Structure 1
Amino acid sequence: MDVRIESVRTIEIRSEGAKPLVFLRFLDDINTIFNCIFEGTSMPSKPEGVRRYIVMSKDGYLAEPLDTANLQPSTSTIRLAARARVAAPAPQMRVLDSLHDNGPKLVEMAPEGELSLRLSSPDLKIIPEVFYHRQWERFRVHQRPPRPAAKGTAVKKTTAKKASGKRTARKADASRVRLAATANIAATRFTVSVVARSGGAPIEGAHIVAFTNFAARQGAEATTGANGHATLNLLPPNQPLERVYVYAPAGYWGFYATRTTGANLAEIKLTSIDVSDPTLLLTQLYRRLPTSAGDGVTVAIIDSGVDGTHPDLTNVTGGLNCVSDEVRADPEAAQNWRPALTEGEHGTHVAGIVGGRGPAGGFRGVAPGVKLRSYRVFPDHPRPPPNNGASNFDIAKAIDTAVADKCDIINMSLGGGPKDDLTRAAIDRAIAAGVVVIAAAGNDDRSPVSFPAAFVECVAVSAMGRVGTFPKSSIGTSNVAKPKGKPQTGDFIADFSNFGPEIDTTGAGVEIVSTLPGTGHGSMSGTSMACPAVAGFAAYLLAKDPALKQKSGSSRSRALKDALYAACKPENFGRDYEGFGLPLP
């Protein structure tokens, strides 16, 4: 019997009430399983140590040696030549995906296969698949605190007797044990109530992260339910807490506290966000730009997807799901450029900063006149760490597609991965086509600039903030640090922002209010937010200069970069923190 499944998105195998244990994404893998079930055969074992690589031209992006039948995507494996002095069967390779017939390939094979391919194909370059991450400032607990020592009534163990009096004593002892256990549980957790500062309504969806040891990321976290309550386990009410972060749902500012205890946090009040507030940082910097700013310019958002149905994002004209695993499992998924099912709000927030266009008196981004396109590279279901980000293969596909779709500017609010030849080659092709690529410098607490922003071809953006543009109780307070700018402005470089000689500009990146999936707005921080602020301003510069728009190729991208740098005003942060400065009208 031959059972075939022609279309499937994802099959999840899970134990009841648990997270998915297995995600089956490939049609051939699923069909193999079903045929094994019906035919009674055993599952073929996957070769030990199989890894994913990119096979690309040694000297560029496209190459004739890549345009062969053996290097086109297939469910079959290719037998590679065995090395002469290796006593092992000839290694095998499977081509999973391809960027053009003569372009880079995503393949899987054992490390022995990589060595074999290097020997047999010296004109090709084999590099590992690597992953990049969203550059927003969001902390998570990495380890739970030690379980507190049990406290309660000590109960003397008794020996069972037949007499009824002894049975009564045992029941009384058991009752005291249960009461003591209940007391112990209550002593090792506390409940927080999160409400609106105005009116006191409970707030659902607020995520609380409490650290007993911030450096070790040790603590507990929980999310409020419909009643606004969240319980943090293994944290006694009197446990000293180094830091507490509350990441708020749409419509509210977050909350930050330090050197406190659970007992002091019985009720946390969140302040609502007013998108018409003139003190918001984007408003202070760019509100005087015309509503037509960016008209005729298209900006690519390479990110976690964008909600084009948001009422303030009517200028989203389309896009592509570039996550190879998802599209290979279901070709129709290519049109799923909407927000990813996991942490998909990031891309919608980024898009709003570039070009949100709300009604008069409502929210607006830097360049409301732009057209936006969404190229999703973060998957719906993240892979296990450390491969839980966006693949370099998918990012290269997104860059390639954005260029083909005539985008003028590419925004990449991602980073944190290693130096990567494929991403750089794709960026080089974009620049040769006249596109400017703007990337987030990274949020590694003043570490060197991360890739891809560290590539000289990119515009690398650090993150600055301004005291007074967010509530004192919000998370932005934790980001205030030196170096500080001009005393009269209250400006500072965020404590999380990377820095170094690769920095080209700084941008508004602390407590930036923008669009969230659905109809709401919220605040986020990170070089992820600073990057689109600069991208929006670059779109404004391109739109208002006809001579610049008429240029083409690398001369156009160079000219737009020069115009952007010329518009930057130094804020006295220092060269390695701000580059040319903050782009301002």
Structure 2
Amino acid sequence: MTAPQMRVLDSLHENGPKLVEMPPEGELSLRLSVPGLKIVPEVFYHRQWERFKIHQRPSKPAAKKAKKAVKKAGGRAMKVAKAAVASASFTVSVTDASSGAAIKGAQIVAFTDFASRQGASAMTGANGSAILNGLSPSRKLERVYVYAPAGSWGYFTTGTTGAQISKIKLAKIVVTDPSLPLTQLYGSLPANAGDGVTVGIVDSGVDGTHPDLKNVSGGLNCVGDETRGNPAAAQNWRPALSEGEHGTHVAGIVGGKGSTSGFRGVAPRVTLRSYRVFPDAGGGASNFDIAKAIDTAVADKCDIINMSLGGGPKDDLTLLAIDRALNAGVVVVVAAGNDNRKPVSFPAAFPECVAVSAMGRVGSFPKNAIGTGSIAPPKGNPSIKDFIADFSNFGSEIDTTGPGVEIVSTLPGTGHGSMSGTSMASPAVAGFAAYLLAKDPTLKQKVGAARSRALKDVLYAACKPENFGRDYEGFGLPTP
């Protein structure tokens, strides 16, 4: 029998899982050579935040037809085509609602067909303006989203035109506003909530230089593609260069300290550690890198791990890492997924995890904020006006729900911004679990699987049903 053709790229530990590269025939040969060997594919998971993008895919026949037309008519047709494109555009200016100052870095996404994600998008420049090409000012727009930079609320509207949204004013975020969800739900927790507890953030990296995140004690860049050829890159647990703000926002929800800004997360006295699994180049996180992050968090004595990621297939490699964490006494909290009421995604769907859906509260964000588009049944107590977000997955695997609509938290640098998703609900629950663990000396003294089971039991016992239904909220909303 010929030796299997493969190349070992990485290893979790000496006798642990290996990441290998091999052709299909090499896999078959390996199965024959080592009958008891378990081979699983490398799969990828994604951030569970609610952020829409345009899918622009012009059909090939249309492109060829346009090319032929230009060839027949020569340069004059090209000039006409350019003029047509120029006329099919409109400009949107984005300013601060109170000061009138131009807002740079606002991402405008206008959908003509939301189901197929067709439309146009653009980013505002220093003058607060952006040009959306390919759409005339009179074109009907199904939905318009404005994803704001730090300091401002986003914007959402439906059934409009380019001419009607030419001037958009964004409200300023006030981190000390008592109506914010984290403040309403967890502002009554003591200032030392989470003291002595360490929470690992398996995500896109955390900005430990943020004034409200001075409790980040370190971490590891677990992205193998970045570290295999450059071991020094393992220290780059800072935010990923692509969409890296996600992990910093998640970390602030768990344990933002609010030393100068007045902002605080659920458990401001926790110690945070950052385990980056999303690459600088963008894209998903490998299950191998996630398993490495979980194992490292356990070795670093984390008590709780938050994973605001999901969307991949059922994956034994990640499950085994989660099992090792539970056996070491570590509770793993995971976002249920943002697939618009589809079944709970993996890894949250594993029974071993604490799977968290996303709820919201009417009145905790401006009426024209993006969260307005997420209000949907089932709704809870009419006097409170809580709801399960329209994007949140649900099913029998759900253990708890958490605040996940228009959640204000830290962003890389010094600012704060709002995001929505089960990505935001999960760290709120992780932070509450840290609070429960810190205040119970008996619970902290437990070890191994007995400890992780006991902490989950205490967490579920602290949940209050919101009348959403079992598959939407599990035990309910963690409540002081």
TM over 0.5: yes
Query: Residue 40 of structure 2 is aligned with which of 84, 109, 127?
Result: 127
Query: Residue 193 of structure 1 is aligned with which of 93, 103, 110?
Result: 93
Q: Partner amino acid for 1:227? A: N
Alignment match, 2:309: 414
Unaligned runs of 5+ in 2: 63-71
Shift of 1:185: 3.2
Q: Distance in 1 between matches of 2:337 and 2:107?
A: 23
For 1:307-456, list aligned pairs within 5 A: 307-359=207-259, 362-382=262-282, 388-456=283-351
Q: Partner amino acid for 2:436? A: L
1:271 is aligned to 2:171 = yes
Q: Distance in 2 between matches of 1:475 and 1:322?
A: 33
Shift of 1:229: 1.0
Alignment match, 2:124: 224
1:531 is aligned to 2:430 = no
Q: Distance in 2 between matches of 1:263 and 1:131?
A: 41
Partner SS for 1:565: helix
Partner SS for 1:510: coil
Q: Distance in 2 between matches of 1:511 and 1:328?
A: 38
Shift of 1:133: 0.2
1:505–1:583 contact (8 Å) kept in structure 2 = yes
Q: Which has the higher contact order (CA 8 A, sep 6+)?
A: 2
Q: Distance in 2 between matches of 1:91 and 1:233?
A: 53
What TM-score, normalized by structure 2, do the two folds share?
0.95
Q: Distance in 2 between matches of 1:132 and 1:365?
A: 25
1:145–1:219 contact (8 Å) kept in structure 2 = no
- Report % sequence identity: 77
Q: Distance in 2 between matches of 1:475 and 1:182?
A: 34
Q: Distance in 2 between matches of 1:521 and 1:94?
A: 44
For 1:92-103, list aligned pairs within 5 A: 92-103=5-16
Alignment match, 1:113: 26
2:211–2:260 contact (8 Å) kept in structure 1 = no
Q: Distance in 1 between matches of 2:323 and 2:86?
A: 59
For 1:167-186, list aligned pairs within 5 A: 184-186=84-86
Shift of 1:182: 6.8
Alignment match, 1:458: 353
Shift of 1:91: 5.0
Shift of 1:105: 0.3
Shift of 1:200: 1.1
What TM-score, normalized by structure 1, do the two folds share?
0.78
1:74-118 CA distance string (max 9 Å, x none) = xxxxxxx44xxxxxxx65100000011100000001011111101
Q: Partner amino acid for 1:408? A: D
1:519 is aligned to 2:419 = no
Shift of 1:191: 1.1
Alignment match, 1:281: 181
Aligned residues: 468
Q: Distance in 2 between matches of 1:219 and 1:144?
A: 11
2:211–2:259 contact (8 Å) kept in structure 1 = no
1:289-312 CA distance string (max 9 Å, x none) = 011000000000000000000000
Q: Partner amino acid for 1:130? A: V
Q: Partner amino acid for 1:514? A: S
2:145–2:370 contact (8 Å) kept in structure 1 = yes
Shift of 1:180: 6.3
Q: Distance in 1 between matches of 2:80 and 2:95?
A: 32
Q: Distance in 2 between matches of 1:120 and 1:526?
A: 45
For 1:242-253, list aligned pairs within 5 A: 242-253=142-153
Instruction: Say which one has the larger Rg.
Output: 1
Partner SS for 1:269: strand
Partner SS for 1:127: coil
Q: Distance in 1 between matches of 2:297 and 2:280?
A: 21
Unaligned runs of 5+ in 1: 1-80, 83-89, 148-156, 159-173, 383-387
Q: Distance in 2 between matches of 1:287 and 1:486?
A: 21
Partner SS for 1:92: coil
Alignment match, 1:302: 202
Q: Distance in 1 between matches of 2:87 and 2:362?
A: 39
1:336-373 CA distance string (max 9 Å, x none) = 00000000000000000000001377100000010000
Partner SS for 2:55: coil
Shift of 1:223: 0.6
Alignment match, 1:558: 453
Alignment match, 2:468: 573
Q: Partner amino acid for 1:397? A: K
Q: Partner amino acid for 2:239? A: P
Shift of 1:453: 0.2
Q: Distance in 1 between matches of 2:83 and 2:399?
A: 57
Q: Partner amino acid for 2:219? A: G
Shift of 1:189: 1.0
Q: Distance in 1 between matches of 2:82 and 2:165?
A: 22
